[in-house]
Structure 1
Amino acid sequence: MSDKPNLEEVTSFDKSKLKKTETQEKNPLPSKETIEQEKQAGSS
């Protein structure tokens, strides 16, 4: 075994065989408006 990885598989990889997927954010951060509303609701 050598220290260098074998890049043969990477260079011959065919991207056209991959399926197109849509990424969706599972836990999006709240907007500034939402944070302000929650602060006001908590203090009243």
Structure 2
Amino acid sequence: MSDKPDVSEVANFDKSKLKKTETAEKNTLPTKETIQQEKSA
């Protein structure tokens, strides 16, 4: 047994079969209460 994983399938993977997806980052701003708690800590 080898301690390294078998990556032979990765080498011949066809990227054209993948679907294109759009990613949307959700960065919510902290509330006034959260800011006050952080300042007082």
Greater helix share, 1 or 2? Answer: 1
Unaligned runs of 5+ in 2: 30-41
Q: Which has the larger radius of gyration?
A: 1
Amino acid in the other structure paired with 2:14: D
Q: Aligned pair count?
A: 29
The percent identity for this pair of structures is 76
**Structure 2: distance between partners of 1:4 and 1:16:** 27
Q: Scaled by the length of structure 2, what TM-score is found?
A: 0.54
Q: 1:4 to 1:26 in 2, by over 3 A?
A: same
Q: CA RMSD in A?
A: 1.6
TM-score by length of 1: 0.52
Moved beyond 2 Å, runs of 4+: none
User: Mind listing any 5+ residue stretches in structure 1 that lack a counterpart?
Assistant: 30-44
